[in-house]
Amino acid sequence: MSYAEKKHQSSDFVRVFPWIVVLVLGVLTMRTCGKNDTQATTVHHVILERIESLGKLEIVRYKFKDIVEHEIIRQWLPDPKALLIVNGEAVGCIDLTKVKKGDLITDDTTLRIRLPKPELCYYKIDHKNSKVYQTNYAFLVEAELVDEAYRKAEAELGSTALKAGILEETKVGAEKILTPFFEAFGYKKIIYEYK
C-alpha cells in the first residue's frame, strides 16, 4: 500500500469518525432515556405474626412543639450544632385488661371500681411535621448529629408530659368517659379508686 493510499484511508477515517461518535452517543442516549420511562414494581409478602388484645383506653393526648438545639462538644475541631423544630405527642391511657371481677363492688345504687393506675402509653415524634432548621460544622457527622437530637427530643417529650400532669389528666378523663357508661346501668354514685 502506497503512502498516498494510506493518507487517503486516514482522511476517510477522520471524516467518518465524528459520525461514529454521534451514532454511539445517540444509541446511549436512547438507552438511558428509555430507562426513565420504565416503571418499577414492588412485591410485598407480609405475614401477620401475632394479634394482641390491648385493652388500653387512650384518654388524653398531649401535642408538643419543641425547639431543640443540639451540639457535640469536640476538643480540637469546631463543635457541630443542629437546630430542629420538633412536633410530637404523648398519650395517657388506662389498661382495662387489668380490671378483675373483684375490682367491682356494687351496692343497690353505688358502684365502687378499682382501676389500674394511669400510664403513659406512648410518646413519639411526628417526623412528617418536624424539620431540621439548621446545622453548623456538621459536614461529616450531620446524620449522627440529627439522629441524636431527635432521640433526645423524643425522651424529653415523655418526661415533659409527666411533668405537665398527663397521668392526673388521664384519671379525670377516664372518670368523665366511664361515669355515663356506668350510670346507664342504673348506678347513681360511682366511686373510683386506683390500684
Cα-only R_g, the chain: 34
pLDDT of residue 169: 94
Rounded to two decimals, the pTM is 0.67
Q: Residue 118's CB: how many other CB atoms inside 10 A?
A: 23
- Quote the CA–CA distance of 118 and 167 in Å, as a whole number: 6
What pLDDT score does 147 carry?
Answer: 84
Low-confidence ranges of the chain (pLDDT < 50): 3-4, 7, 36
Q: What is the pLDDT of residue 4?
A: 47
φ, ψ at 185 (rounded to 5°): -90, 5
Q: Pairing relation of β-strands 81-95 and 104-106?
A: unpaired
pLDDT of the residue at 138: 67
Structural domain boundaries in the chain = 56-194
Exposed / middle / buried, residue 116 (Cβ in 10 Å: 0-12, 13-18, 19+): middle
pLDDT of residue 109: 87
pLDDT of residue 40: 60
Paired strand residues for 120: 92
44-72 pLDDT, tens digit each: 666 667 666 667 889 999 999 988 887 77
